[in-house]
Amino acid sequence: MYNKVMETVEFLNERVEMRPKVAIILGSGLGDLVDYIEEKIEIPYEEIPNFPVSTVAGHAGKLVFGKINGVEVLAMKGRFHYYEGYEMKQVTYPIYVMKQFGIENMIVSNAAGGINKNFKPGTLMLITDFINMFGTNPLIGKNDERFGVRFPDMSEAYSKELISLAKKVAEKNNEKYEEGTYLGTTGPSYETAAEIKMMSIMGADAVGMSTVPETIVANYLGIKVLGISCITNMATGIAQTAHSHEAVVDIAVKTGERFCKWVVDIVSELK
C-alpha cells in the first residue's frame, strides 16, 4: 500500500504546484463549497492512479485544489462509502494520500440523521466524538509503521484546538451550531426506529454512513480532524416520514450556504 500511495502522491505533485495543509471532505449535497475555491485545479478521480471511483448520486468524484481567502486547500468532492462495496482500505485511501501530500488539518463533513431531539433538519452539528458501529475498523490488517502505530489513540478524535477555533469563528460571525456525537454505521439502509432508540441510549446525537473510517485513519496518521454534520432529517421514529437520499441531498444543498460560510471562515483562520 505504501508504494501505491507514493505513486499517487507523485502524480499529484507533478499535476499541482500548490502544497495545501488543509483538506476538506465534502458530504452528500455539500459539494457547493468548491464554488468558494479560487484558482481551482480539478482532477477527476478516474485520472488519479490507484484512486477508487465514487458511485453514489450527489457525489461528483474529483479532487479540487485551490485557495480560500488565500489559504491553499485540497477538497474532496465525492467520497467513498463502505456500502458501495469498497474495502475499508479503499474508503480511506485518500487520507493516506493526503498525509503524504502534506495535509495537517482535515475538515470532514457529512449529511446525517438527527437523533438529538433538540436538532432539526438544517442544524449544523460540530462533531465532538464518534461511535464506530461499522462492525469493522479501517486499520485491521498488518500495520505499516511508516504510517502510524499499531494501537492509535482516539481520545481526541476531533481536535480540541480545531473545535475551539470553529466555535470562536461561529460566535464571531453569529453562525448557529450544535455539538454532538456522530454514530457511523454501514448503511445503505436507513435505520429502524428500534435501532435509533438504541443509538440514542448509546449517546449518539446524529447518525450517518461515513466519516468514522476517515477520522480513524486521519488520527492514526497524525492529521488533526474537525467534523461537521449537516442534519438533513430527523432519524427514524423521531421523524414520522420515510427517508430518501433525494430529500437528504435537498436539505443539505439548502443548508449548504450556511455550511460553506462557516467552513470558509474556519479555513481563513488556518493560515
Binding site: which residues? 28, 59, 79-81, 111, 191, 210, 233
Backbone phi, psi, residue 125, to 5°: -115, 120
What mask of x and - would describe binding to ligand LQZ7MJT6 in positions 42 to 81, judged by CB under 6 A? --------------x----------------------x-x
How far is Cα 57 from Cα 132, in angstroms, rounded to an integer? Answer: 24
How far is Cα 35 from Cα 25, in angstroms, rounded to an integer? Answer: 14
What mask of x and - would describe binding to ligand LQZ7MJT6 in positions 171 to 190, judged by CB under 6 A? ----------------x---
What mask of x and - would describe binding to ligand LQZ7MJT6 in positions 195 to 234, judged by CB under 6 A? -------------xxx------------------------
Subset of residues 133 to 172 that bind ligand LQZ7MJT6, contact rule: CB under 6 A = none
Q: In the complex with ligand GUN, which residue's Cβ is closer, 152 or 187?
A: 187
Q: Which residues are annotated as a binding site for phosphate?
A: 28, 59, 79-81, 111, 210
Task: Give the three cell numbers for residue 126.
Answer: 460540530
How far is Cα 25 from Cα 23, in angstroms, rounded to an integer? Answer: 7
Q: List residues near ligand GUN by CB under 6 A.
A: 111-113, 185, 187, 190-191, 207-209, 232-233, 235, 243, 248
79 binds, among ligand LQZ7MJT6, ligand GUN, none (CB under 5 to 8 A by kind): ligand LQZ7MJT6
How far is Cα 86 from Cα 226, in angstroms, rounded to an integer? Answer: 24
Quick one: CA torsion of 144, 74, 25, 43, rounded to 10 degrees? -90
Whether the upstream peptide bond of residue 188 has omega within 30° of 0, thus cis, is yes
Number of residues that bind ligand LQZ7MJT6 (CB under 6 A): 13
Sequence-distant (≥ 6) Cβ neighbours of residue 202 within 8 angstroms: 131, 183
DSSP reduced 3-state for 270: coil
Q: In the complex with ligand GUN, which residue's Cβ is closer, 22 or 91?
A: 91
